Copies of this chain bind each other. A is one copy, B any other.
Amino acid sequence: MQVQTTSQASKFPAAAFGLRPPLAGKSPTGIQMVLVKGEELFAEGDQADFFYQVVSGAIRSYKLLSDGRRQIDAFHLRGDIFGLEAGAEHRFSAEAIGSATVIAYRRSRLDSLIQDDAAFRSRIMTATLRSLERAQDHMLLLGRKTAQEKMATFLLDMAERLSKDDEHFELPMQRSDIADHLGLTIETVSRTLTQFARSGLIRLLPAGRSIGLCNKMALRGLDA
């Protein structure tokens, strides 16, 4: 991992990842970290001394069962803040999916910011409530949707989050990550994608990472 402090506004491209004052305005000191593929940022149970914002690449945060089964609760893409905890410890592990860059903020700074700054506080509260909303939507998906519906929901969400034209994008993660996010197996993920491609709903480019949505209406129908 390469580390580089970013204590000046010039090194803190706030606009690039959606920060507005006061967080950006106060240009809090952050540590920029360059992560290689698969590198772990923190593990479940670690002290939560830092929280993070994605600059580039993608991060997966997940929980494990004792026998290794994994549930990826979220993928964090450019601009997303993650790793902010109520208690002293992280309740998730987090790893870089490919190579990625994040900025780490000391949590101690956060606490004082929360005390002092009503606007910042409400931003954190909103971010937390947004995570809760996502979690609630995802519970509906995990508990009650079929494999096809899960994949359709996932593809539409990804298109929205990482496509400019909302139609074509590169998946940053591999099949096993998608499977562990949707509560499926890699085989089912793969089969469902092939099936979507054969039905003309999507276009799958070589390596299976590049995806084009041809029929968003139909996908939305599957989204239930």
Q: Is the CB of A86 within 8 A of B182?
A: no
Q: Pick the interface stretch among A23-31, A101-109, A136-144, A206-214.
A: A136-144
Q: Pick the interface stretch among A8-16, A65-73, A163-171.
A: A65-73
Q: Which chain B residue lies CB-closest to A64?
A: B140
| Docked complex Cα distance between A94 and B210 (Å) | 41
Q: Is the CB of B135 within 8 A of A132?
A: yes
CB distance from A13 to the nearest CB of B (A): 27
CB distance from A194 to the nearest CB of B (A): 22
Using Cβ atoms and an 8 Å threshold, which residues of chain B touch A132? Answer: 86, 128, 131-132, 135
Q: Tell me the count of chain A residues lying within 8 A, CB to CB, of chain B.
A: 39
Q: Is the CB of B142 within 8 A of A139?
A: yes
Q: Is the CB of A138 within 8 A of B139?
A: yes
Q: Which chain B residue lies CB-closest to A67?
A: B224
Main secondary structure of the interface of A (DSSP, over half): helix
Q: Is the CB of B183 within 8 A of A86?
A: no
CB distance from A10 to the nearest CB of B (A): 33
Check A205 for interface membership: any CB of B closer than 8 A: no
A residues with CB within 8 A of B: 63, 65-67, 69-71, 73, 84-86, 91-92, 115, 118, 121, 125-126, 128-133, 135-140, 142-145, 180-183, 224
28 contacts between A and B (CB under 8 A): A63-B137, A63-B140, A65-B224, A66-B224, A67-B224, A69-B144, A69-B224, A70-B144, A71-B143, A71-B144, A73-B139, A73-B140, A85-B129, A86-B125, A86-B129, A86-B133, A92-B136, A115-B118, A121-B121, A125-B128, A128-B129, A132-B135, A135-B135, A135-B136, A138-B139, A139-B139, A142-B143, A143-B181
